[in-house]
Structure 1
């Protein structure tokens, strides 16, 4: 049975395995991986995990600038990640309140749908009225996942990364 857990340094090898499944790049949506994060060494990985934990600090959350990161884990295997961004800022407007990614070998198992449902519960606990989700225009699996949770299509927006679909889910 999968679990949503806070990022943890002891899952370094499992996370590296998930990243290898994706291939090179920073496209692991939901993990909060930035271009300055060094995750190959144990120390670098632990520092990254600590940064992610800091984003969920109560002061960051209270200010509306926090982010709750969770990893989708089953049997010690990292299947993906999901992030709930709390604030109304430009980053949320561009990428949505919730972003997620499932490693290629774990797709088509319902994990994204399951994880999104759990994060909507988190959004409800934060008293968010509605959340924005954004996905690539041709990502039909995400469209299906978002619409499963009653996402309402707002439209397509051109971004610097290409066109995206925008959906709102009322909590």
Structure 2
């Protein structure tokens, strides 16, 4: 049974295993990983986890790792305010490691983070995915996403969805 957990140094080895599976680069959506983060050493990983934890303020971001047992299978992030970054990337970003995909984990995690957004008093959230990412588009649509349209971005065409956070929505 999966669970959403706050980032933890206890999961260093498990997180590194997931990171290696994704391959080189900083592309694990939902983890808040920056090119300047050093996550291999225990000290660097602890600094990164501390930064993620510190960002959990009103204007910041809530990071959660999707964990099954002792295995990190993905990450999801909820950005709390509508900044310029959010205007382009969305309030929510998520990613599932390749070996854990096609099991409904993203839909499961998205439902839970939408509950968090609702609890924070957010009325609606923007979720953006690559225009050719059919799996992510279906995930967003399953959670009530309404397509605003497709826009060109720095990373290529992207679908933009809004999810209303009412009693019935999301």
TM-score w.r.t. length of structure 1: 0.96
Aligned to 2:46: 46
RMSD of aligned alpha carbons: 0.5
Aligned to 2:148: 154
Which of 113, 117, 126 does residue 123 from structure 1 map onto? Answer: 117
SS at 2:44 equivalent: helix
The aligned counterpart of 1:4 is 4
CA distance in 1, matches of 2:127, 2:46: 29
CA distance in 2, matches of 1:87, 1:15: 27
Matched, 1:96 2:95: no
Aligned length: 165
Say whether 1:83 aligns with 2:80.
no
- Structure 1 segments of 4 or more deviating over 4 A? none
**Structure 1 residue aligned with 2:126:** 132
Q: CA deviation at 1:120?
A: 0.4
Q: Cα deviation per residue 1:21-77 (whole Å; 9 max; x = unaligned)?
A: 100111000000001100010000000000000001xxx31xxx2100000001110
1:150 deviation in Å?
1.1
1:169 to 156, 160, 163: 163
Using the TM superposition, give the Cα deviation of residue 159 of structure 1 relative to its aligned residue in structure 2, in angstroms: 0.6
CA distance in 2, matches of 1:141, 1:155: 17
Residues 81-138 of structure 1 show CA distances to partners (whole Å, capped at 9, x for unaligned) of 0000001110110100000000000000100000000000000000000000000011
Q: Secondary structure at the match of 2:33?
A: coil
Cα deviation, 1:132-151, whole Å, max 9, x if unaligned, reads 00000110110110000110
TM-score by length of 2: 0.96
